[in-house]
Each structure stands twice: as C-alpha cells, then as structure tokens.
Amino acid sequence: MDMTERVVPIAEAHEATAMPVVGRPRAAATPAAEVRNAATAQPVQLPAAAGRTRISPAKPPWSLASGQGALSLDRAFKAQLARLTFGLSPAVLAEQTFDWMVHLAISPGKRLQLAEDALRNAARLGLYAGESAVKPGTPPCVEPRPTDRRFAAEAWQRWPFNLIYQAFLLNQQWWNDATTGIEGVSRRNERSLSFTVRQALDIASPSNFILTNPEIAQVTIEQGGRNLLKGLQNLVEDCERTITGQAPSGADQFIVGQNVAITPGKVVLQNRLMELIQYAPSTEQVHAEPVLIVPAWIMKYYILDLSPQNSLVKYLVDQRHTVFMISWKNPGPDDRDLGMDDYRKLGVMAALDAIAAIAPGRKVHAAGYCLGGTMLTIAAATMGRDLDERLASMTLFAAQADFTEAGELMLFINESQISYLENLMWDRGYLDPYEMAGAFNIIRSNDLVWSRVIREYLMGGRQPINDLMAWNADTTRLPYRMHSEYLRQLFLNNDLAEGRYCVEGRPISIADIRIPTFAVGTAADHVAPWRSVFKTHLALPGELAFVLTSGGHNAGIVSEPGHPGRTYQFHVHQPNDRYVDPDTWRRETPVLKGSWWPEWHRWLARHSSGRTAPPPVGAPDNGYPVRGDAPGLYVRQS
C-alpha cells in the first residue's frame, strides 16, 4: 500500500467535504470508497483511504501573515493607545529622549557644566534664603519669564513660599540648560524635548498645589475649605458635561441665531460641504465688489459674527460692503474621504460661482481666516495659473502658506506623529474636536489648563464666560483624508510654498497670485505665529498690506473699534519696495492705537470700483434660490 502523505490545502479539504470555498473553482473529485449515510441511505463520497491526508494551513483572509490583518491590528492598537496619550506619539518622545541621552553621554564638558550649574544654583538659593530671612524684600535670585504670571502675587514673597518658587524657577532654568545646547542633537529633537520637559515641570509647579500655593492656602483658611468643596463640584460638573457632550458651564446662554450669529441674511447655496450666507444690506448703496469670507473648518464661522457689538460681518455690512460667508458642515464618519480639493471645489469655487450668478460681472474681495486663508491661497494660486480673474483682492487673517516657521505646533508634526494621528482618525473617519483642542491647550498649558485648575478647582471660582469663550467651546470635527493631506502636504512637506502642491494634476505657485493682498498677523499667536504669516512678503509679487495687531489667534482678529487696549502696526509693501525682515519691520513701523478693522475697510474701499445698488438676494433663475434664513443649518450641527 502506498503510504505517501498527500498535502492538501484547507480550501481543497473543504471542497472534498462538499463545502465549497467562495471565489475558488471546485477541484476534481478524488477517488473514494462508497459509504452510505446512515440517515438518508445515499452514497457519500469520501477520500480514498490509500493514504493519510495532512492538511496544510493556508492563510485565511484575516490572517496576520496576510499583511492586511496585521495592519488592521496595528491601527486598532495605536488608535486606542493614542486616546490614552492624547494623540501624542510615544515613539516621538522615545526618539528625542534617546537622541538627547546619547549625545549628552558623549559630552563630558556639558555634563561638567551642568554639575557646576547645579552647585551654583544651590549656592544662590542658600544665599537668598539667608538674606531674605534677615532682610525682607530681598530681590529674588531668579526672575520668571515676562509672560509667567504664576508667582506675581505678593504672597509669594513671604517665607517659605519665596524659597519654594525660587527653587522651582532655578530647577526649571537648569532643565532648560540641560536639554539645549548639546552638540549633535537635532534642532527638532532639542526643541521637542525642551518643550516636553517644560510641560512636565509645569505640572509639578508649586502654584498647582494647595500646600505650596499661598493664595490657595489663604483662601482655604478664610473659607474653611468651602472653596475646595465648590471646586470639587465644578470638577464634577465639568466632567459630566464633557462626557455627555454638553457645552461648558455658562456657554448655554449664548445661542446661535438668538444672541450670537444674528446679522440678518439668507442661505443662498447648500451643498454637502457648506452653506453660503448672503447678508442683507443696511445701506442704500454698497461697494461694487462683494466680500467673500472663507473661515477655517476647524471652527464655526460665527467667530466673525458674534454679538452685534463685536461682529466683523455687521461692521462690514454697515460700511457698505455686500458680504457672503461660507458656513462649513461639521463632518461625520460618512465624510471621511473628503479631501483638501473637495474643500476648494465645494467651498471657495462653489461660492465664487454663486456670487457670479447673483452679482454678474463683479469681481470679489476674498478673505480667509486661518486654514480658510490657506485654502483661499490655494484657490487663488490655481485661479492665477488658469487665468481666472474673478478676484479683486485677497485678505488673509492669521493664515499661513509657508509652514517652515509654524511655531510650536511643528513640534508635533513628523512622520511618526502624523502616522499616529492617522490611526487615531481611521476607525472613526474624523479627528475628534477634543483631541484637536488638547493639542492647542498643551501649547499654552499655563494659560489654558493650569490657571483654570487653580481658579475653578482649587480656588472654587468660575470665570464669567463671554461670547468668544462660548464660541470656542462649539467645536468641530476634521475629516480623515483632509486632515492627513493637510498635515503631510502642507505642514510636513511644505509643498505649497515650494511649488509641489498639485491641483487637478498640475502644480500651482503662490507667485501666480497677482492681485493686491492684505495680511493680518497677531502678536501673541501660537497657532499661526506672526513671523510665519509675515513670510507672505517673500511669496507674493504684488501689493501687500500687512497688519500686526495685539492679541492672539482669535482675540486679535475679533478686535472691534472701541475694544480697550488694542493696538496695531500697518504698512503697505509695493511691488518695487525692498524686502524688510520681520524684526526690523516691527521695530520701525509705528504703533497705532485702536482696531485694525477700519484700516482694512479703507483698504478694501481703495481697491473697489465705486458704489452701486445692492445685488439681489440669491438668483433663483440661475439655480441659487433662497434656502432659508441665516445662520442656516450647518452651523447648528454638533
């Protein structure tokens, strides 16, 4: 008898037992002995008993060895891990730490310097402790940074709190020296590690603890601990609101369409990505060229139409401008495949088509805010390439086109981090707004995180919420594909500034934008640093009016006339003017008091062709009927 073993794949074994495998042809029958089924008395074909059959483990579709299963497992694991690490890649931290440790280990001179610095700091602290004990009012041995207000209260100058915060600042100073200036460490890793260490030290700051913060200790004694009880109640309430998806305490008094976003207007276009709002005129005549505003889709548009007294939209309408506003849809899982070009076509270009139908023959003053400004730049460069001359001017609010100096956000942008975020977005199809907000909060953790912990959870207070704060809590999501393209093509590769960004299969160049441009940078911007916005001077060949205003990324833009303490600098760069670097520009340009809004209005008026009657609302005969009242439906989506 032939005892040779016959190796049969799993699929063939299934076929031999009358269980066909989908997608594979049935193999030829194997000679078999006839056996009858005991229940039916029908013959059953079995493999011949001439030899033993050994089944080979073929790879099923879900096999890890198939590659697809392994990738799915990796993505699922990293997505769960990313939720625990707030979207920050542990591989990035490991890489920068290893780079620092290795180069520090082979730098004996740096280690000796750090040891000497530690001894010197200890001596300085000891000397200060002795002098301050016998001579109150002794100047501190180290001063905090000008922007660090944690230890500004008089109570910090009393013993022992003066020694506690001085020791902390000396320690912070030492760690800054320890993580910088090491030969061989890459610039990116040095900045990232220094930032990470600074965040860890901020967590351990004596201002964050009851026993080491004299202000908290004093309030706790005065109130008999009632502040801590109230703080616990605040913490529980905030956790409940976060878990249930409710707005922060106090934000519910600002309702879209009732006391914010109430400038009269109509929705004249709706597609799967945006609604276009046309605002009603408030004057008998308007400037001939309408204004189209393209907000970022990482925010609700009504930051530019808050309360009537600080609404940029209302201000423009009252200054005789016809205003159109894009209101972006808040994407969900079904929108995962929407990309950057979808936002260009269904957003900017669709809006321009609608305006051309409503106000035929009129060019448009287009303005973009933050990411909306970047998209407007892409659209304008594409229009310049394709000889589309519908734009009269372009305005950029805190918007970047060159991302080489994009501030501390760049610390989170490398291949490892982007891949990590892609896994986080993959299973849901979008980036959750709380994860995105977490990254922005980390950049300014003292102002946005720890100051709130102290004020609301340890002191037991509640900061009164205003319309801008309520808007900030009205978060949005980002589609998977768009966010991945944005991070890779713009932040990581800087394709737009370097001429590699393609639209419809062909590259575009910012230098093809030959229309007058007005750019706004904000002095305290951590999202789009003003020096990065200033780099627009290097890319645009035409007239460029540049404003540097006080305030941050949001508060600097919402800078209505009459706002106390606002200042700005303004200069118009003509095509034949010599380039001036940003620091020289800031030093030599006069500082003006007040809001920059009137300056922008005057600039728009100078680049307009006169006044005319307001255009009709919508264009039903051209396919743009009125679809409802402003603020529309999309802005209300949560």
Active site residues: 370
> Which helix (H) or strand (E) is 358 found in, with range?
helix 350-358
CA angle 471, 474, 480 (to 5 degrees): 130
Query: CA 625, CA 616: separation in Å to the nearest integer?
Result: 11
Query: CA 163, CA 326: separation in Å to the nearest integer?
Result: 55
What are the φ and ψ backbone dihedral angles of 431, each rounded to 5 degrees?
Answer: -95, 125
Cβ neighbours of 354 (radius 10 Å): 22
Query: CA 533, CA 548: separation in Å to the nearest integer?
Result: 10
- Say whether 108 sits in a helix, a strand or coil: helix
Taking Cα atoms as reference points, which of 546, 597, 599, 592 lies closest to residue 567? 592
**CB-based burial of residue 316 (10 Å sphere; 0-12 exposed, 13-18 middle, 19+ buried)?**
buried
| Cα→Cα distances 51→2, 8, 14, Å | 7, 12, 18
Residue 291 near residue 298 (C-beta atoms within 8 A): no
Residue 28 in tokens: 């030829």
* Cis ω before 575 (30° cut-off from 0): no
Residue 314 near residue 308 (C-beta atoms within 8 A): yes
Query: CA 161, CA 163: separation in Å to the nearest integer?
Result: 5
Query: CA 616, CA 631: separation in Å to the nearest integer?
Result: 18
Rg of the chain taking only CA atoms, in angstroms? 32
Per this entry, what is the length of the chain?
638
Residue 177 in tokens: 């020296």
Query: CA 550, CA 558: separation in Å to the nearest integer?
Result: 11
Query: CA 152, CA 384: separation in Å to the nearest integer?
Result: 53
Taking Cα atoms as reference points, which of 267, 265, 270 lies closest to residue 350? 270
Residue 392 near residue 603 (C-beta atoms within 8 A): no
Q: Which residues, 6 or more positions from 545, have their beta carbon under 8 angstroms from its beta carbon?
A: 516, 517, 518, 519, 570, 571, 572, 573, 603
- Say whether 320 sits in a helix, a strand or coil: coil
Query: CA 146, CA 616: separation in Å to the nearest integer?
Result: 53
Residue 16 in tokens: 């031999």
Q: Find residue 624's DSSP bridge partners.
A: 619
Cβ neighbours of 609 (radius 10 Å): 11
Query: CA 524, CA 557: separation in Å to the nearest integer?
Result: 11
How do 265-270 and 274-279 pair as beta strands?
A: antiparallel
Per-residue H/E/C for 236-292: HHHHHHHHHCCCCCCHHHCCECCCECCCCEEEEEECCCEEEEEECCCCCCEECCCEE
